[in-house]
Structure 1
Amino acid sequence: MDAVAGLLDGPRARGAFLLRSILTPPWSMLVRDEAPLTVVAVVRGDAWIAPEQAETARLGAGDVAIVRGPGPYLVADDPATPPQVVIHPGQRCTTPDGRELFTMTGLGVRTWGNGPDGPTMLLTGTYAAQGAVGRRLSDALPPLAVVPRDSWDTPLVPLLATEIGKDEPGQAAVLDRLLDLLLIAALREWFARPGAAAPAWYRAHADPVVGRALRALHHDPARPWTVAALAAEAGISRAVLARRFTALVGEPPMSYLTGWRLALAADLLREPGATVGAVARLVGYGSSFALSAAFKRRYGVSPRRHVDAPTMAG
């Protein structure tokens, strides 16, 4: 598993909030759900999206926006349109003055809006929680990343638009996986753009030597790695690997491995039935004591306290 695949093992969609909106101007929604990550795709028409900490952007048909929370953002037919709906944590909806909206106009399965023939159709997928592995990638994102339709060719937006309206056995799992695919495809396209400021370790995957070393660490974090063993895997001398890895990734190989192991452990510990001892073996620590000590140095809390605390977000 590389760090990009690891993103999906962090905020992987599990019963994610998915909604298809059909809208006729004027319309405006202020989203204050505090979600760590949201994907907004335009199927037809257009929309404006305005995060509190980023410049306003216009989205056209086929464009995909990734919003990094937990800050609020506005989605509207025009930035000047006053909000008509405020969306709170747990997808609770109110009017701007605080009155509860217990129902929205239903237009079918997972579909709502202010008219069945609205010229704008949006897809919204919200990740409610985020793990430590996912944060390594999503923390490198700006508050708003827009991938325009003309920069990539993907069938995922129309496919998700079709599937979101179905109500068949296993449909929630199908939608979760499609949302994950759309997210990861959009992220790869975004980080490939000039000036996207991809993190150093992400760019280092393209290096023929360091990329091989990174893939080895990600694929088998439990192996008792040394710089010499990693250099042999990459087909280069120990000294050259250490120098090249540090220059491209920004930290030495063993330091990077420690961070990766502990991020994996932080997520694995939250899995049902997980024990510190079992997780320690999976990520390369010889005992639960060794993992606990390293975990507390990195995160400031014991593994048990981490499991009892709210899931990492933002």
Structure 2
Amino acid sequence: MSVQQTDPLEDILALVGTTSRLSVRLVAGGEWALSYEPPSAVKFVAVRRGGCLLGVDGVPEPIELAEGDCFLLTRPRAFTMASRPGLRPVPAGPIFASATDGVARVGTGEDAVFIGGRFDFGERARELLLDVLPPVIHVPGRTTEAATVRWALEQIDAELRDQSLASTLVTEHLALIMLIHLLRLHLAVAGASAASGWLAGLTDPIVAPALQAMHARPAHTWTVAELAEIAAVSRSTLAARFKQSVGQSPLDYLTCWRIELATDRLRRGDDTVATIARMVGYGSESTLSNAFKRVTGASPREYRRRIRTARGGQSAHRAGPALARTGSISES
């Protein structure tokens, strides 16, 4: 069977509303060590010169960062950056609060230079994307595969240095490009062990075509036989590999992805439940309502009411299925 395929990673990043924001630059020299509070967003840091040791709460061994390396911190965990082991770190907050001309300094000299920032996501990002990633992703920069990441970092450097018109917007878009390439590179290097859930499925040559087909046509009445034909394996082989890799059966995954699409439309728009039902592959409002309540514990109408009530207060309601389940910042 020939079928249009799409990119689940692109779908997820679009659904969770990814945005980026850069921090001031960090320049360090001599002996130095900084301690960082658990970040509220996904943290990224790139080493533009020199290197350091990265320590992350819950990660048993420190990570040696060399020039050109990057890391992503996908969990709200405290971490340290230091010139060598055994140094007592000072809090990073005051160092960045005292930055001048976009540069924070620690220690003596300019042995190491870092740029960093944050990626912010919508309310479903934790379950849809971040929980299927390891807590820290280290991407070595001195590899052929990391060429695009190096290019993005060089362009970010140039924008920060030159401060041309709309440079803030340009650097934010470059940071998003860098994020996508970091995730691609991480998956390519680490393979199936790099993630869990749907993201791990993308690294499986049998599971990936089925995932891509479902994302391309979520409203289609897929059967396991059709998906197995796309993957060029038997139904039993696809079912077993999909369950092993993603943690769900193919049709359970399809149900959860349809409900994610439905919740997104309930959050963002005013379409009727019947209209949304047709858009995501359910023949009637009642069919969607039954599936929605089974997965989320609430009916679509109840979910929309909760969203609107919560938005009148402080935060949006977080009910929803699990596929796995702006302004400058002060710290690099």
Q: Which residue of structure 1 lines up, in the alignment, with residue 34 of structure 2?
A: 29
1:212 equivalent in alignment to 2:209: yes
Whether contact under 8 Å (2:71, 2:138) holds in the other structure is yes
Aligned residue runs from structure 1 range 1-314, under 5 A: 1-10=6-15, 12-14=17-19, 16-54=21-59, 55-86=61-92, 93-94=93-94, 103-108=97-102, 111-114=103-106, 118-132=110-124, 135-151=127-143, 152-154=145-147, 155-194=151-190, 196-199=193-196, 201-205=198-202, 209-231=206-228, 233-234=230-231, 241-243=238-240, 245-271=242-268, 273=269, 275=271, 277=273, 279-286=276-283, 290-301=287-298, 302-304=302-304, 305-306=306-307, 308=310, 309-310=315-316
Whether contact under 8 Å (1:156, 1:178) holds in the other structure is yes
State how far apart, in whole Å, the 1-side matches of 2:136 and 2:123 are. 20
Query: Any stretches of 5+ residues in structure 2 without a counterpart?
Result: 1-5, 319-324, 326-332
State how far apart, in whole Å, the 2-side matches of 1:254 and 1:160 are. 42
State how far apart, in whole Å, the 1-side matches of 2:165 and 2:115 are. 21
Please give the root-mean-square deviation of Cα atoms over the aligned residues, in Å. 3.5
Q: CA deviation at 1:167?
A: 3.5
Q: CA deviation at 1:187?
A: 1.9
What TM-score do the two structures reach when normalised by structure 2?
Answer: 0.73
Q: CA deviation at 1:20?
A: 2.3
Question: Deviation string for 1:92-122 (max 9, x for gaps)?
Answer: x458xxxxx8x422234xx433599622111
Select between 215-224 and 275-284 the one with higher mean Cα deviation. 275-284
Q: CA deviation at 1:221?
A: 1.6
Q: CA deviation at 1:185?
A: 1.6
Q: CA deviation at 1:21?
A: 1.8
State how far apart, in whole Å, the 2-side matches of 1:56 and 1:25 are. 19
Shift of the 71–205 alpha-carbon distance from structure 1 to 2, 3 Å rule, reads: closer
Q: CA deviation at 1:6?
A: 3.3
State how far apart, in whole Å, the 2-side matches of 1:80 and 1:140 are. 33
State how far apart, in whole Å, the 2-side matches of 1:40 and 1:113 are. 15
Corresponding letter in the other structure for 1:57: I
Aligned length: 298
Shift of the 106–198 alpha-carbon distance from structure 1 to 2, 3 Å rule, reads: same
